[in-house]
Structure 1
Amino acid sequence: MVFKFTIDDVLNRYIPPNRLDRLPKIIGRFLGAHTPTPKDDYLIWLEIFISSFVGIALIEGVFKSHTVFTHHAAPLIFASYGATAILCFNSSSAPLAQPRNVLVGHFISAVIGLCIQKLFSLSEAGRANYWASGALSVAVSSVAMSIGNCIHPPAGASALLPSADYTVRAMGWWYLPAHLVSSCLILAVALITGNIIRKYPVYWWTPGPVGKPKPAPIEAPAPMHNKLSTLPIVKAESDGSWVEKTKEGVTFVPGLDSIQINSREVLVPAGLDLDELAIEWLDTFKIKLMESESSNDSAV
């Protein structure tokens, strides 16, 4: 779904353009600055298998080891990263799997989920209704990710975990840096394994234009003879009737009381006042009919 407003409407003018092509080739390749060639399916399946195994094992290995998170009841892995691995390694070209969506989506959802859970924890009634804080966390994070243009479906679990899992609640604010570390680790694996035979990411921030918008070029006024050429041309038929034809191919017929469109011509009443946009709109229907007839003929 394309929203009318996202945070990109405000931030994109301040984002610098992509300059990865200026990096050394070997570095740029593992940041997605290359064009992959088609590969056989079995090679892609092998890459998906290796990437998924290494990505999940790396996160588990870090949290299994003695780190700063060891003293803060960090679990072996947050379950939401299982779904993130599927997106990053199976659907690496999907917008939902790009680095911004993974990193920002998980972090925003984790912040919202943790803050709402802590608000519910302030009262005995709230602590007895963590089901409500979990539902509210997912709802708020869904809207926040939509506004931030960083939708990442597994991040819904990141918003839910502080309310649903008592071990995550025991982590407190350490839940947030643990998410940042997990996201960076799985993205690091995706950048290495995802750029051997395929390409990851497709973009880092947005596929749309970034930087300050360039001023629109000032168009010179059209020559007078061009304007005259768009006016109706009046000619007489052999039977003495008059018709008016325009440059766009729309025919104005005296006495006609309806608009008739087929694959060869467009007929409109002579007294109907049409601007260039309306004429172009009518001509579009004629083209669609021509394409439809061509496709039917080829099918036969």
Structure 2
Amino acid sequence: MESKQRSAIHTFDIDNYLNHIIPRARFYLLPKPISHWFGYRAPPKGEPKAPVPATSVLLVWLFSFLGAFIGIAIIENVFRNLPLLGGHSVPLVIASFGAAAILEYNAIESPLSQPRNLIFGHFLSACIGVGITKLFLHLPEARFEELRWLAGALAVGAASTVMGITKTVHPPAGATALLAATTPEVTELGWWLLPLVLLASALMLASAMLVNNLYKRFPLYWWTPVDLSKPTKADIVKAKDVEKAGSGSSIHSASDAGLKQNALPLPAGNSSDAASTRRDQSRLDTTSKEARNIRTDPELKIQIELDRIVVPDWMELSQWEAEVLEGFQIRLRASTGN
């Protein structure tokens, strides 16, 4: 029982609980001139087109400058014209969005810069930073000032953990939590920081969509790279199943069953002995593979095909790893019009 609990913790993935209730983005229903700015690209029809030439590095630098300049300028001017919030003046800008601008305009293909991470990363971090600071404010004022450093450290640590659990990691959001605890101007805002963070995130996302889609695609996805339109997203099978069943091999869903179908069977005996045996066998198998030919041996290859993904028998995938492979399969299908 204890072993099962540890396994559940080690393999926990919040998307296993959320993806089935998150609706698929419906931007494909909009006219093409509009859906383009939301990052939607229609799959190519007919014969696959030649690969698009790489974007000039000078163009990337130019748009990263324009995007960062425009994004921050919009936030600053909106904040300048906001009324007092609960009697508190609004800062010219929340400093953490300067770092966010680098991600949103210079690393637009990174998972860390996608809308889910930008919006929820900052919002959750602001909640944590304000909440921890409010607890420290129950101390006498002089004592609170002495312990600001501790409140800031706790806020960043807790924000990092929560972003990791919720798959919303956004490095600049750590600064949002830190500012709530260590910067008096932001501390005075209290819970008013939350709507400001949401507003700044929305403005930055909107400007990033306008600037980045002039020369590239942004965002690559809104919630997850996995296709949410189907209950099963990728057919992940073991190499031995392909050999036995050929092209008619039965398929397994990596998302619906948490990859349990693809796991190696446990040997007889108690769970700890079985886990130890599996680790030992994995090490032996890995050692024996060193002398094999990686080009021809199916035990040393991952194959991504239009209708399935084939992984070696000895390899067990986490949910995150399965999603990465599914993302490549989606791109492969899109390039062939499937």
What TM-score, normalized by structure 1, do the two folds share?
0.69
Does the CA contact (< 8 Å) of 2:75 and 2:204 recur in 1? Answer: yes
SS in 1 for 2:294: helix
Q: C-alpha offsets along residues 113-158 of structure 1, whole Å, 9 cap, x if unaligned?
A: 0000000111224453111111001001100000000000000010
CA RMSD of superposed structures (Å): 3.1
Q: 1:137 to 1:93 in 2, by over 3 A?
A: same
Among 27, 49, 67, the residue aligned to 1:51? 67
1:85 positional shift = 0.3
Matched, 1:65 2:88: no
- Name the counterpart of 1:81: 97
- Name the counterpart of 1:24: 31
**Where do 1:1-300 residues align within 5 Å?**
4-34=11-41, 37-38=52-53, 39-69=55-85, 71-124=87-140, 125-210=143-228, 213-214=231-232, 286-288=292-294
What letter is aligned with 2:100? T
1:213 positional shift = 3.0
1:84 positional shift = 0.3
The 1-side partners of 2:233 and 2:100 are apart by: 40
1:80 positional shift = 0.3
What TM-score, normalized by structure 2, do the two folds share?
0.62
Q: 1:121 to 1:23 in 2, by over 3 A?
A: same
Q: C-alpha offsets along residues 51-110 of structure 1, whole Å, 9 cap, x if unaligned?
A: 111000000001112435494222100110000000000000000000110000000000
Give the percent of matched residue pairs that are identical in Structure 1 and Structure 2.
41
Q: C-alpha offsets along residues 155-177 of structure 1, whole Å, 9 cap, x if unaligned?
A: 00101112111111111211110
The 2-side partners of 1:68 and 1:283 are apart by: 67
The 2-side partners of 1:215 and 1:70 are apart by: 48
SS in 1 for 2:157: helix
SS in 1 for 2:188: helix
List structure 1 segments (4+ residues) > 6 angstroms apart after TM superposition.
281-284
What letter is aligned with 1:134? G
Q: C-alpha offsets along residues 185-235 of structure 1, whole Å, 9 cap, x if unaligned?
A: 000100101101111101100112436734999xxxxxxxx89xxxxxxxx
> Greater Rg, structure 1 or structure 2?
1
Does the CA contact (< 8 Å) of 1:121 and 1:127 recur in 2? Answer: no
1:41 positional shift = 2.1
Structure 2 gaps, min length 5 = 1-9, 43-50, 236-243, 246-283, 298-338
What letter is aligned with 1:199? R
Structure 1 gaps, min length 5 = 218-225, 228-277, 292-300
Q: 1:89 to 1:164 in 2, by over 3 A?
A: same
The 2-side partners of 1:133 and 1:212 are apart by: 44
- Name the counterpart of 1:275: none
The 1-side partners of 2:234 and 2:37 are apart by: 36
- Name the counterpart of 2:258: none
Q: 1:48 to 1:289 in 2, by over 3 A?
A: closer
Q: 1:215 to 1:119 in 2, by over 3 A?
A: closer
The 2-side partners of 1:52 and 1:161 are apart by: 21
The 2-side partners of 1:140 and 1:147 are apart by: 11
